[in-house]
Amino acid sequence: MHIGPYALAAPLALAPMAGVTDRPFRMLCRRMGAGVAASEMVTSDVRLWHTPKSQRRMDHAGEPEPRVVQIAGGDAAQMVEAARLNADSGAQIIDINMGCPAKKVCNKAAGSALLRDEALVASILAAVVRAVEVPVTLKMRTGWDPANRNGVAIARIAEGAGIRALAVHGRTRADHYTGAAEYQTIRAIKDAVRIPVFANGDIDSGAKARAVLEETGADGLMIGRAAQGRPWIFNQLRHFLATGTTLAPPALPEVRDIMLAHLEQLYAFYGEHAGVRVARKHLGWYRDAAFGDSAVPAHQDSERTVAQGRDHDALFRQMRVAESVSVQRRLVLEWFDAVSAEESHGAGNLRGPSNGGHTGPEMRRRA
Catalytic residues: 100
- Dist. CA 41–CA 135, nearest whole Å: 17
Q: Is the peptide bond before 66 cis (omega within 30 degrees of 0)?
A: yes
Distance CA 279, CA 263 (A): 6
Choose among 339, 330, 351, 352: nearest CA to 305: 339
Q: What is the dihedral of CA 267, 233, 8, 185, to 10 degrees?
A: -120
Partners of residue 220 on adjacent β-strands: 198
Rounded to 5 degrees, what are φ and ψ at 2? -120, 145
- Cα 143 → chain centroid: 21
User: What is the C-alpha to C-alpha distance for residues 1 and 13, in angstroms, rounded to an integer?
Assistant: 11
Contact between 27 and 67 under an 8 Å Cβ cutoff? The reply is no
Q: How far apart are CA 62 and CA 79, in angstroms?
A: 26
